[in-house]
Amino acid sequence: MKLQILGILIIGISKLYENSTEVVQWSSDLLEHPRTLAPTFLNMDDGTRDHRQLVALSLLRLSTSLVFVYAIFLGFTRRKPIVLSSPSPITSVVVADVQPRRALILTLLVFAAFTYLLDELITLFYFIFEDVPSSSALQWRGIELADVLGYVAFSMIIMFGIHKDRIGIDFWSRKRLKVGIILALLLDIAYLVLLILSRPDSPGVPERPNVRGIDLPNFLHFLTVDFRILALLILVIVLFKPHTSYSVNQHNHAPPTPSTLLLPAAAPVTHGAYGTFADPSHAPKSAVSHHNGATIHCSD
């Protein structure tokens, strides 16, 4: 209240040199309608924006129906066919095990669904306490249906993912899931940009907006969209950066055989040809020699 009075005094002094009667009238009107001091991006519906731009904004808001249809498409994800490949002559000693970050993915999906639910609750509470539906402003037309479709779409993705994990189907690392999340992120970014561009111009003094603005709900709507974009952006990074662990492969070694033991290899048997001498390296280790009629056995 003090800031409002200070603002009235500052602007009133500047206008005092132009027309003192207009200043008095404007100050009294400003005290009766303090919402005109709110920032321009909070006071959306003043009739100064192009009607075609507002219609495009409403259509883009309802693009959550595309995410809803794509979520249904994800429910038909099946098990990947097993491709038989010939065994490689190279034995892998270290094997990389790539696993999606399921806990973090589920947390971000739940948070994205919660932003739609929170936006719907904001709209409902404002209608209950103020008796003014948010969709009465053209900038927020269709927001109730868009929030419901978005919440159901992300809830379906969560349920499909948990169910596919239980039956052993790889779901979180599929390309179709990544495409769906990127699609939802791009639609939300385009929606936020168009929402910012559709904000009204700053009203002149002593002019006031034509239609009473919805300050606090508009601000909360902006916050929910911002938080959802942040969650989806992190989710895209997590989907493309799975957890990779490395382990030593101990199953590709051949079973031990006598030839693999630490024993010297048997000497090859050689048969000398006629008229040749045997290899001295293969001579027997014991020999018999005759010395002065006595037989002497020598061995190693």
Q: What count of residues does the chain have? A: 300
Averaged pLDDT, 22-34: 43
Is 257 within a domain? no
**C-alpha to C-alpha distance for 183 and 166, rounded to whole angstroms:** 27
What 3 state SS string does 37-93 have? Answer: HCCCCCCCCCCCCCHHHHHHHHHHHCCHHHHHHHHHHHCCCCCCCCCCCCCCCCCCC
The predicted model gives 193-200 an average pLDDT of: 78
pLDDT tens for 114-159 read 999 999 898 888 788 877 666 666 677 788 889 999 999 999 999 9
- Identify whether residues 170 and 72 lie together within a single domain: yes
User: Each residue of 270-283: pLDDT tens digit?
Assistant: 555 555 555 555 55
Instruction: Give me the pLDDT at residue 70, please.
Output: 94
- 173 CB contacts (<8 Å, ≥6 apart)? 98, 100, 239, 242
Give the Cα separation of 38 and 47 in Å (integer): 17
Give how far Cα 87 sits from Cα of 26, 105, 129, 168, Å: 86, 35, 70, 25
Q: Give, in order, the Cα–Cα distances in Å from 275 to each of 44, 272, 278.
A: 115, 8, 10
In a shared domain, residues 28 and 45? no
Q: Which of 207-211, 242-246, 257-261 has maximum average pLDDT?
A: 242-246
pLDDT at 199: 67
- Output phi, psi for 294, to 5 deg: -105, 145
Is 105:239 a contact under the CB 8 Å cutoff?
A: yes
Maximum C-alpha span of the chain: 155
pLDDT at 91 over 50: yes
Q: Are 112 and 224 in contact (CB under 8 A)?
A: no
H or E element in which residue 247 lies: strand 243-248
Q: Judge whether residue 259 has pLDDT over 90.
A: no
Pair (12, 74) in one structural domain: no
pTM of the model: 0.62
Q: What is the mean pLDDT of the chain?
A: 71
Tally of structural domains, the chain: 2
Let me know if residue 263 belongs to a domain. Answer: no
Domain extent, residue 6, equals: 1-32
**Lowest-pLDDT range of 35-39, 100-104, 224-228, 293-297:** 35-39
| Range 29-55 average pLDDT | 49
Neighbouring residues of 105: CB distance < 8 A, sequence distance ≥ 6: 161, 172, 235, 238, 239
Q: Is the pLDDT of residue 198 over 60?
A: yes
Q: Is residue 281 part of a domain?
A: no
Tell me if 121 is assigned to some domain: yes
Do 115 and 51 lie in one domain? The reply is: yes
Most confident of 124-133, 157-166, 193-202: 157-166
* pLDDT score recorded for residue 271: 56
